Amino acid sequence: MKPTSSEPIDLFSDQFHQQPYTYYKDIREQTGFAKVMLPYGIPAWMAFHYDVAEAVLKDERFIKDARTVFPDEVSDEQMLPISKSMLFVDPPDHKRLRGLIQKGFTPKRISRLKGRIDAIAMEQARRIKQKKRFDLVEEYAFPIPIIVICELLGIPDSDRDKFQYWSKLIVDLDNDGYGESSTVQEGMNDFLAYLQALIHARRQDPREDLLSDLIRAEEDGDRLTTNELYGVVMLLIVAGHETTVNLIANGMLALLMHPDQLALLKNDDQLIPQAVEELLRYNSPVEFSTDRWARESFSFMGKDIKKGDFVIVSLASANHDEALVEHPDKLDITREKSPHLSFGKGIHYCLGAPLARLEAESAIRVLLEECPDIRLGAEPAELAWRQSLIIRGLENLPVETG
């Protein structure tokens, strides 16, 4: 069903999740930048056109740290440690925090992990292919990135169910998103207690891993505070798997719904990097940017923005704008790489992009090799999408093989 311009569009309804790109197309015909009502009655500006989305992400007047504009309303104690991580702070802190771990994420460093990532994907694929029917989200897409990020950081992946629970609390809309509900508070306290114990143990017994590097930076004193250390580890665990899980699952769903594209890929695995790029654009795992606030009042794209206004970018809408690519609603894995916004833009551009690409390429290639006859095990319209203000991801993706 196509929305009519007289009805307000609920960006978070089940109906919207089923076919967001049809709705976004309609919205983009009406506006590129508009005020919307978020769940819990919070008003926000939202960017829908590609050029507006890109401009918001690059404009340093849209800041990440709410305390700059609401110094009396948000206290330090109310904030989750993850709010002290690079994604939620502005320069100069942002540069210092990002600089500390950037070296660990260069394309060259990451490409060295390829063999290990292939082996992890293979192990998962061989395990599930014994079954005739399985949930691609839980049983394949989820374990791969969590094992990889745990190995990178040097933490036991045997606790991955706990990470999944805590990460979901952070990104899902079931909670209030601001860390105020008791479930979120409790979960975050547990997450923090877990990290405290882990960091305490690693201090006594440092190793050659990212966590030990970060602990050394914290021990140097002026480079990383203890709260920032917790924040960055939380961010890497959450950002390192919530997103990539959905790139693998959303990507496989798109391929399974387009048998011609799937056949192309099976015939020529050289197309995999290009295909992943198109899948990132076509069904972006991160639907919305994280929150930004206007640092001052100013005119932006013909709208009067007031100091403290809340601004979000619909990355998914921008990626389906005709200004970006021709026939944006068509999946075409042979397309030339587009400057899509799935990894954001500007100073907060995704630090993990090379890792995410490598994981998705490996996961999709290995799955198609091991389960060449993989097919959907449910009607696409029956699939449930998660309620999140950040992620576009499926609750489950039943598939069949054999």
Nearby residues of 30 by Cβ (< 8 Å), 6 or more positions away: 5
Distances (CA, A) of 12 to 78, 194, 287, 391: 26, 33, 11, 12
Provide the mask over 90-109, with x wherever binding to ligand HEM is found by CB under 6 A and - wherever it is not.
--------x-----------
Min CB(348)–ligand HEM separation in Å: 4
87 interacts with ligand HEM by CB under 6 A = yes
CB atoms within 10 A of CB 119: 12
Regarding 236 and contact with ligand HEM (CB under 6 A), the answer is yes
Cα gap 7→180, rounded to integer Å: 32
Q: Which of 36, 195, 286, 383 binds ligand HEM (CB under 6 A)?
A: 286
Cα 238 from Cα 390, distance rounded (Å): 12
**Cβ of residue 228: shortest distance to ligand HEM, in angstroms?**
13
- 86 contributes a contact to ligand HEM by CB under 6 A: yes
- Beta pairing class for 375-376 and 398-400: antiparallel
Residue 128 contacts residue 138 (beta carbons within 8 Å): no
Which residues, 324 to 343, sit near ligand HEM by CB under 6 A?
A: 342-343
Question: Using an 8 Å Cβ cutoff, are 118 and 370 in contact?
Answer: no
Instruction: Please report how close the Cβ of residue 37 comes to ligand HEM at its closest, in angstroms.
Output: 20
What's the angle, vertex CA 189, arms to CA 192 and CA 167, rounded to 5? 70
Of the candidates 63, 137, 149, 255, which one interacts with ligand HEM according to CB under 6 A?
A: 149
- CB closer to ligand HEM out of 167 and 401: 167
Q: Which is nearest to 94 in space by CA: 64, 53, 68, 54?
A: 64
Contact yes or no for 331/38 (Cβ under 8 A): no
Q: Strand ranges (DSSP E) for 130-212?
A: 133-135
Residue from 202, 253, 238 nearest 350 by CA: 238
Integer Cα distance of 367 and 374 in angstroms: 8
- Cβ-proximal residues to 221 (8 Å cutoff; 6+ apart), any chain: none
C-alpha closest to that of 295 among 91, 73, 87, 60: 60
Nearer to ligand HEM, 354 or 401 (CB): 354
Q: Which of 56, 356, 358, 367 binds ligand HEM (CB under 6 A)?
A: 356
Q: Which is nearer to ligand HEM, 113 or 265 (CB)?
A: 113
Return the residue of 83, 124, 167, 243 that touches ligand HEM, per CB under 6 A. 243
**CB under 6 A: which stretch of 6-14, 318-326, 351-359, 368-376 binds ligand HEM?**
351-359
Determine the interface stretch with ligand HEM among 26-34, 250-258, 286-294, 296-304 (rule: CB under 6 A): 286-294
Q: Which is nearer to ligand HEM, 259 or 339 (CB)?
A: 339
Contact residue for ligand HEM among 20, 143, 240, 328 (CB under 6 A): 240
Residues making up the chain, counted from first to last: 402
Q: How many residues bind ligand HEM (CB under 6 A)?
A: 26
Subset of residues 39 to 78 that bind ligand HEM, contact rule: CB under 6 A: 57
Give 148 or 325: the residue with its C-beta nearer to ligand HEM: 148
The answer to whether 319 contacts ligand HEM (rule: CB under 6 A) is no
Span interacting with ligand HEM, options 210-218, 223-231, 239-247, 326-334, rule CB under 6 A: 239-247
Indicate the helix (H) or strand (E) that contains 227.
Answer: helix 226-257
* CB-based closest residue to ligand HEM: 352
Q: For residue 351, state whether it binds ligand HEM (rule: CB under 6 A).
A: yes
Chain residues in the site for ligand HEM (CB under 6 A):
57, 86-87, 98, 149, 235-236, 239-240, 243-244, 247, 285-286, 289-290, 315, 342-344, 348, 350-352, 355-356
